[in-house]
Amino acid sequence: MKVVAATFLKSATAAAEYPPPTLPEVAFLGRSNVGKSSLINSLLGMRGLARTSQTPGRTQLINFFEINRELRFVDLPGYGYARVPQAVRERWRPMIEGYLNRRSALALCVLIVDARLEPQPLDLTMYEWLAAMSRRFCVVATKADKLSRSQLLSRLSALRAVYGPGVLPYSALTRAGAEQVWEVIHAAIAA
Ligand code: GDP
C-alpha cells in the first residue's frame, strides 16, 4: 500500500473512548521494547508517528492511527515490562482483553516477537490467547537485522516450530519484510 496519509487519531482505555468502528483495524501487540513502535513507523514510512520507547507517555493506552482513510493501526500497550507497577499491570489485561474480545472492526492482530530470542513465556501466553479467541493473527519476528543470515534461518525455524509456518522476519532498520507484512494486512482487510 502506498501510504499517503497516516495520522494519530486518539488514545483510549475503554470501549466508550474508541473511535467509531468505521474502518478495518490492524492491532499490534508485543512485549515492551520488542520494537512495536519501530515496526509501525517503518511500515508506514513515517518516523515519529508511533512513539518509540524514549517517550513512554502513550505506552499504557490504546492508540489509534488512521491510514489513507482506509484502515487503522491500533497500537496496544506493551506487556511484560518489569518496571511497570502492579496497578498498571492489573489495568492492562482488561484493557487489552476488552479490545480484542469485542472490537467488531478488528481484522488482524500482529503479534511481534524478537527474532533473536527463544519463544518467551509471555509471548507464548499471548499466542495461545489469540488462538483461543479465534481472531485472525500473524507473528512477526523483528530486529532480524541483528542476526546473521544463518542465525536468522535457524531462529526462524525454531520460532515457526512453535508459532506456525507463517512467522515473518522483519527489520525496522532496513524495512526487509515490510512487503510481506503488508500482504498479510491487505489479505485480512479484504476478507
Ligand atoms: P516498543 O517499546 O516495542 O515500541 O519498541 P521500540 O520500537 O521503541 O524499539 C525498542 C528499541 O529497539 C529501540 O532502540 C529501537 O531503535 C530498536 N529497534 C526496534 N526495531 C528494530 C529493528 O528492526 N532493528 C534494530 N536494529 N533495532 C530495532
Residue of the CA atom closest to atom 6 of ligand 1: 35
What domains does the chain contain, in order, with CATH numbers? 6-190 (3.40.50.300)
- C-beta 13 within 6 A of ligand 1: no
Q: List, as own/partner pairs, every contact residues 130-136 make where C-beta atoms lie below 8 angstroms and the sequence separation is at least 24, other chains included.
A: 130/29, 130/100, 133/100, 133/101, 135/100, 135/106, 135/109, 136/107, 136/108, 136/109, 136/188, 136/191
Ligand 1 pocket check for 60: Cβ under 6 Å: no
What per-residue confidence (pLDDT) applies to 170? 98
Ligand 1 pocket member 80 (CB < 6 A) = no
The single residue listed with the C-alpha cell 492508540 is 63
Q: Is the dihedral of CA 31, 32, 38, 40 positive or negative?
A: positive
pLDDT given for residue 58 in this prediction: 53
DSSP secondary structure letter of residue 105: T
Going from the Cα of 156 to the center of ligand 1, the distance in angstroms, rounded, reads 19
Per-residue model confidence as pLDDT tens for the chain (191 residues): 788 889 999 999 899 999 999 999 999 999 988 999 999 999 999 877 877 554 444 568 899 999 999 999 999 988 886 666 677 777 788 899 999 999 999 999 999 999 999 999 999 999 999 999 989 999 999 999 999 999 999 999 999 999 999 999 999 999 999 999 999 999 999 98
Question: Which pLDDT score is estimated for 83?
Answer: 64
Q: Is the CB of 143 under 6 A from ligand 1?
A: yes
What is the rounded CA–CA span in Å between residue 52 and residue 142? 14
Which residue is closest in CA terms to ligand 1's atom 28?
143
What is the interface pTM, i.e. ipTM, of the complex? 0.99
CA 37 to ligand 1 center in whole angstroms: 7
Q: How far apart are CA 19 and CA 65, in angstroms?
A: 10
- Torsion of the alpha carbons at 43, 179, 138 and 51, rounded to the nearest 10: -10
Q: Is the CB of 42 under 6 A from ligand 1?
A: no
pLDDT of residue 59: 66
The whole-number pLDDT of residue 172 equals 97
- Our answer on whether the CB atom of 55 is closer than 6 Å to any ligand 1 atom is no
